[in-house]
Amino acid sequence: MGIRNLLNSTDFTALFLTFLALKFILESYLKIRNISAIKRNKNTIPHRFTNVVTTEEYEKSTDYNTDKLVFDIVSSAFATGGLLLLTLGGFLNRFTLIVMNLTDSNVVGAILLGLLLIIFSEIIQIPLSIYSTFTLEQKYGFNTTTKKIFVQDILKGLLISGTISSLIFSTVVFLIDNSGDRWWVYAFIATTFIQSLLFFLYPVLIMPLFNKFEPLDDEKFKKPIEKLLEKVKFKSKGLFVMNASLRSTHGNAFFTGFGKMKRIVFFDTLLKTISPNEMEAILGHEIGHAKLGHIRRRVITTIVSGFLVLFILSEIYKTDNFFIAHGLTELTVFSKFLMFNLVIGSYTFITRPISSYLSRKAEFQADDFSFQYTDGEYLISGLLKLTKDNASNLTPDPLYSAYYYSHPPIAERINSIEEKIRAEDSN
């Protein structure tokens, strides 16, 4: 049976509903398991953390993570309902008709329909964002966002997502219209170029729209960091402090950019709680990701995934059954493209445990890299402070963490580092 016959004979409506239900049930089940794991351990601080967190802090952590998981289940239900409204509920058809009455151009249609979908998604998300920011995060003392900043972030986010999506959607639809059967190859080249350009521009144009970035000038942090960069022969565009405290008290550090545009960024909240030696060890972990090729592999994976997705779309475009089965009857080049973008994630979620596993493996490797160049004890104490300041879950359910966690549970990371310290001491 050829691909076209297979696409025409498949009951995609049943398949879509099955995958959608499976995704929601599986992920809700894992979250409920995680809630149960937290409650089972609620009355006793794990042995490794008895001298790290107080009883009050541990109670705050368990309550915070429980409330977050319940909120996540509700958010998933909203997202699932919104997707069903757009697809089988016919909302995408109605939006397509509105656009068709405004323009005869597929390229302009892609832009307008994309903007309508972004606005629709934002309308669904705003109540959830309000609750998350001003109730959940506020309740546990993490929120520092004002209503003005909250509204500004929404408007800026809409502007940026609208601009980027318009550029990508219009480019792909133009190529579908004008490039024959090989359109997907040209679309892959074009979208890869756009994504690469955005990757370079993100730290210098987009991120400053939301936060201020100032050079790290505190010598007690700057000197050990520069010494480490020289030791591992790592070049970056500079060390920066981001005013994360404008929105939250959570702490973190990260790389952004690529090649010569790499920037090392620290949350200002992190600098308030961590020591220079701990900062050096945590930075050693982040540098490990770059030196060990994790960032490059992530980029390559994204490129390969984009290639496969566009090839699959090119085959699906040859028949209307896929789109009709997902509730789309107003079949235009741009509505079919947007429909595919809406539903593809419902079929690919099963790959998440694989990507999570590979990510956790990379995190262990980055810890090992830091251990080679910095003091393991400081890496442990730094990780513990991050865990404490962010009220992270100290007792996650194994199945939940296997599916969701891009980073290993903190207890596993610390155990791995302590084993290396013991092995080093015994030699």
**Six-digit token pair at 48?**
């490794």
Q: How many residues in total does the chain contain?
A: 427
What are the extents of the domains in the chain? 3-206+296-347
Write the CA distances from 7 to 189, 316, 324, 330, integer angstroms.
26, 7, 12, 19
Please list the pLDDT of the chain residue by residue as tens digits (427 residues).
Answer: 567 788 777 888 999 999 999 999 999 999 999 999 999 999 888 888 888 888 988 999 999 999 999 999 999 999 999 999 999 999 999 999 999 999 999 999 999 999 999 999 999 999 999 999 999 999 988 888 899 999 998 999 999 999 999 999 999 999 999 988 899 999 999 999 998 888 777 777 888 888 888 887 878 888 888 888 888 888 777 778 888 888 887 777 777 766 666 777 888 888 888 888 888 898 889 888 888 988 889 889 989 999 999 999 999 988 899 999 999 999 999 999 999 999 999 999 899 999 999 999 999 999 999 999 888 899 999 888 888 888 889 899 999 999 999 999 998 999 999 989 888 777 6
Q: What is the dihedral of CA 13, 16, 19, 24, to 10 degrees?
A: -110
In the sheet where 263-267 sits, what is the strand order? 213-215, 238-242, 263-267, 253-256
Of 410, 305, 356, nearest to 65 (Cα)?
Answer: 410
Helix (H, G, I), strand (E, B) or coil at 237: coil
Per residue, the 3-state secondary structure of 67-111, as one string, reads: HHHHHHHHHHHHHHHHHHHHCCCCHHHHHHHHHHCCCCCHHHHHH
Neighbours of 316 (CB within 10 A): 20
